[in-house]
């Protein structure tokens, strides 16, 4: 059994940054913006964006990308969703050097539970929430859709270039011709799992084996059909996280578990190599995403 143990040295400036839990609060053009902690870890925080309304509004929870090891900014699109009628929450979570999988899925669930418990602060309808995940955040988002009874937790998932199968990504990044980005996904997925994938690595102890961890990171392995939240999965034609990630998940849901045909929608944006949040810069795509969210939160 080959295992990877990672030792990371973090500079003093980064440590100081991680120890700070934001408490900012501001209002822009009637929009409220504040940062809250949903847990005790420095990364267990979220930025909330909402407009005060006379009635409860549905919610959008955003899970950033960044190869599971860094945060990518989502303030601009968070404000976009907020100004289109959604209480919006950009959620940070423990990264791969903070904790191994499934800590990231656990954090996302904890954040959603906190948001629902504090719905009144944000004029939020806690029964109608959609998750938007980008790249590595898309992996967590699709895991939310398929883990347990995802449909009881959220109304749906919009995933932009989701790494729905870190194992597929590991294989794609493990060739001589693999690109630097493919290798970066491979390496960080390995850190996330704390080991290399090996089907022969079956643990007989009380702890999950390395292979069990890799299987659990793949969203389709948790697919159960009608109990899973609907998904809108989007890739570009030239995406370095190929659409096959989402097609595999779609097949598992609709063929393997009899999920209704409309339960998983996979879209490939032609003539583009945009990835993750960059897909929202494609003409017309934000409108299609908003329409899908409105349809599933109404």
| Residues 76-114 pLDDT 10s | 999 999 999 999 999 999 999 999 999 999 999 999 999
How many separate helices (H) and strands (E) can be counted in the chain?
10, 9
Q: The sheet that has 57-63: what strands, in order across it?
A: 25-28, 31-37, 45-51, 87-91, 57-63, 124-134, 156-160, 231-236, 264-269
pLDDT, tens only, 192-237: 999 999 877 665 554 568 999 999 999 999 999 889 999 999 999 9
Cα(260)–Cα(95) distance, integer angstroms: 34
The verdict on residue 1 lying in a domain is: no
The verdict on residue 67 lying in a domain is: yes
The verdict on residue 3 lying in a domain is: no
Mean pLDDT for the stretch of residues 251-258: 89
Both tokens of 232, joined, read 């809108």
Cα(166)–Cα(235) distance, integer angstroms: 16
The verdict on residue 131 lying in a domain is: yes
Q: Tell me phi and psi for residue 213, to 5 degrees.
A: -65, -45
In this structure, is the dihedral angle defined by the CA atoms of residues 55, 280, 271 and 181, taken in order, positive or negative? negative
The verdict on residue 111 lying in a domain is: yes
Which of helix, strand or coil describes residue 42?
coil
Q: CATH no. for residue 77?
A: 3.40.50.1820
The verdict on residue 235 lying in a domain is: yes
The verdict on residue 2 lying in a domain is: no
The verdict on residue 66 lying in a domain is: yes
pTM of the predicted protein model: 0.89
Cα(90)–Cα(47) distance, integer angstroms: 5
Considering its fold, how many domains does the chain have in total?
A: 1
pLDDT, tens only, 123-135: 999 999 999 999 9
> What is the domain range of residue 48?
12-297
Residue pair 104/140 in contact by the 8 Å Cβ criterion = yes
């Amino acid at each position: 059994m080959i295992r990877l143990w990672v030792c990371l040295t973090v500079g003093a400036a980064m440590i100081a940054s991680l120890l700070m839990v934001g408490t900012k609060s501001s209002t822009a053009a009637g929009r409220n913006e504040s940062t809250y902690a949903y847990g005790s870890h420095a990364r267990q925080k979220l930025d909330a964006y909402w407009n005060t309304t006379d009635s409860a509004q549905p919610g959008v929870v955003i899970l950033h990308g960044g190869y599971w090891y860094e945060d990518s900014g989502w303030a601009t699109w968070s404000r976009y969703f907020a100004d289109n009628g959604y209480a919006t929450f950009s959620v940070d979570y423990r990264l791969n050097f903070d904790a191994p999988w499934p800590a990231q899925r656990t954090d996302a669930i904890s954040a959603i539970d906190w948001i629902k418990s504090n719905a009144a602060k944000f004029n939020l309808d806690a029964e109608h929430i959609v998750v938007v995940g980008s790249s590595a955040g898309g992996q967590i988002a699709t895991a939310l859709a398929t883990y347990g009874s995802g449909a009881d937790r959220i109304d749906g998932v919009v995933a932009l270039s989701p790494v729905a199968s870190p194992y597929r990504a590991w294989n794609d990044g493990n060739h001589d011709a693999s690109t630097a980005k493919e290798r970066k996904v491979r390496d960080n997925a390995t850190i996330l799992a704390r080991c290399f994938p090996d089907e022969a690595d079956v643990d007989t102890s009380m702890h999950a084996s390395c292979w069990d961890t890799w299987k659990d990171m793949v969203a389709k392995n948790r697919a159960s059909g009608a109990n899973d939240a609907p998904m809108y999965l989007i890739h570009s034609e030239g995406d370095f996280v190929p659409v096959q990630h989402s097609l595999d998940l779609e097949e598992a849901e609709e063929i393997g578990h009899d999920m209704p045909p409309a339960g998983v929608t996979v879209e490939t944006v032609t003539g583009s190599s945009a990835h993750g949040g960059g897909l929202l810069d494609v003409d017309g795509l934000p409108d299609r995403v908003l329409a899908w969210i409105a349809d599933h939160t109404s």
